[in-house]
Amino acid sequence: MSTTFARLVIVLFGILGGLSSGQDAPPPKLDVPRKPAAMYVPPPPPTTDQMRAEMNGLFLPSGFQHEPLLSPNGEVGGLITGPDKFKIAYWVMPPFGSRLAPGQVAFESLAMKLKAGKHQWSREQYVSDELIQLTLASDNTLAVSYPNRGVNMSCNVNGPGQLSDALLMALSITNTVRRLSWDKAKELFEKGGVKSCTMFHTGVVFIHMADETRFETRQPSSGALIALIRALGKEDKIGIATD
């Protein structure tokens, strides 16, 4: 009698014995493989609005203009133009680890790609706890990449002036709060898009926009902010918090 057959007979006799005595027989033990405690699930594909929001806070020096672009396959981008035909292009793609919608292309760091070839210098730096990669190629092509955002910016710089302008604009999207004069802040309220405000006793005011952009200003006198919101008839649309 084989060992396997003998074990089967013992199990059967145990079951029959339990039935004859009126007791439930214990179930046979089974080796069930354990499931992993957790499994990584990639986030859903980012929407066009979510990718566009990665450029919030973009600062344009005087004389520069910004034109948002959208490619046929859904890539979000833009073109910045300035004096002397200076142009900066950028594209926003789903960052590494994200699921892709049909037609979407995964992010690849342009700065690291240029670093693999002939280049003048290359840097990786954390700014506001965010990794930024920069490379200036031998042909004066500057690439600034944000791996966590899926943003690539590139341009051809002619001299230190254009290099400075390009870096100022590229690094401006790391700023979550931009400072405005009171007159510029009033224009924001008049145009719309302000979601709420935080008003401090020092006169400083944080303005929270519907697109998650934040601005900082200072009201010229106590009560100026509330008077402005009332004059615009937006008391029920803009929330105000105080310290």
Is beta strand 130-137 parallel, antiparallel or unpaired with respect to 194-199? unpaired
When comparing pLDDT for 202 and 157, which is higher? 157
Angle, CA 208 vertex, CA 205 and CA 211 arms, to 5°: 155
- Residues 67-91 pLDDT 10s: 988 876 667 899 999 999 999 999 9
- Residues 105-159 pLDDT 10s: 778 999 999 999 999 999 998 876 678 999 999 999 999 999 888 899 999 999 9
Alpha helix positions (H), the chain: 3-20, 48-53, 110-115, 160-172, 182-191, 224-231
Both tokens assigned to 82 = 């300035």
- Is the pLDDT at 40 greater than 60? The verdict is no
Q: What is the pTM of this model?
A: 0.57
pLDDT band at 46 (very low <50, low <70, confident <90, very high): confident
Which runs of E-coded beta strand occur in the chain?
A: 65-70, 76-82, 86-92, 119-127, 130-137, 141-146, 151-156, 177-179, 194-199, 204-209, 214-218, 239-242
User: Where along the chain do its domains lie?
Assistant: 1-33, 48-172, 177-242
Q: CATH for 177-242?
A: 3.30.720.210
What is residue 6's predicted lDDT score, i.e. its pLDDT?
47
